[in-house]
Amino acid sequence: MESEAFKSLIAHFGAAATAGDGRALSHLFTEGGVYHDYIYGPHRGREAIAGMLENLFHRDAAEYDWTFFDPACCGDIGYARSLSRFVSTIPEFKGREVVIDGISRFVLEGDRIAEYHESVNGGVAQSQLGLAPERMAKVMAKWTKRLLDDAEVQAYRAAARARYVGGG
């Protein structure tokens, strides 16, 4: 994908997410596209992606905004920095403003997203919500398990370990 096309794609992505328009967001993805969300986990297919945005993101947040900066694209991989902001509607955190910074990785197929991955410091978001340290630890353990169970991460760990153990 060309740089300008990628800039346009992520601008539409941010606008759809901000508006809570699940249909618009999901149609930026391939039919079997996967959105890997750090909070809600992976969602595969347009229907699941639309449902995640409308029934999870916008269920738990008001005044949602998501803006991308500094896009970079090389062939079928794109990256962008982002800032997002919302006000929690979850009863125990109602009214608390949260700002999240992150890096997004887009695996592209033609003019659509085949996979979306994000890296954010979820602990900063949890701190802004006021989560108790024990609850934060429980959530971090869940995220750690998700990371360590990933096949790509397991292959990387094994290869890195082999370089040290095997003397390579």
The Cα–Cα gap between 144 and 139 comes to: 9
Per DSSP, the residues of 133-152 read HHHHHHHHHHHHHHHHH-HH
The pLDDT assigned to 1 comes to 83
Report the DSSP pairing between strands 29-37 and 112-120.
parallel
Q: Which domains does the chain have, with CATH numbers?
A: 3-130 (3.10.450.50), 132-168 (no CATH)
The pLDDT assigned to 57 comes to 85
The Cα–Cα gap between 96 and 94 comes to: 6
Q: Assess contact for 28 and 13: CB atoms under 8 A.
A: yes
Report the C-alpha dihedral over residues 78, 49, 42, 93, rounded to 10 degrees: 100
Across the chain, which has 168 residues, the per-10-residue mean pLDDT values are 94 96 98 93 96 90 94 97 95 95 97 96 91 93 91 94 77
The pLDDT assigned to 131 comes to 92
φ, ψ at 47 (rounded to 5°): -60, -45
The Cα–Cα gap between 23 and 150 comes to: 28
Q: Assess contact for 146 and 36: CB atoms under 8 A.
A: no
pTM of the model: 0.87
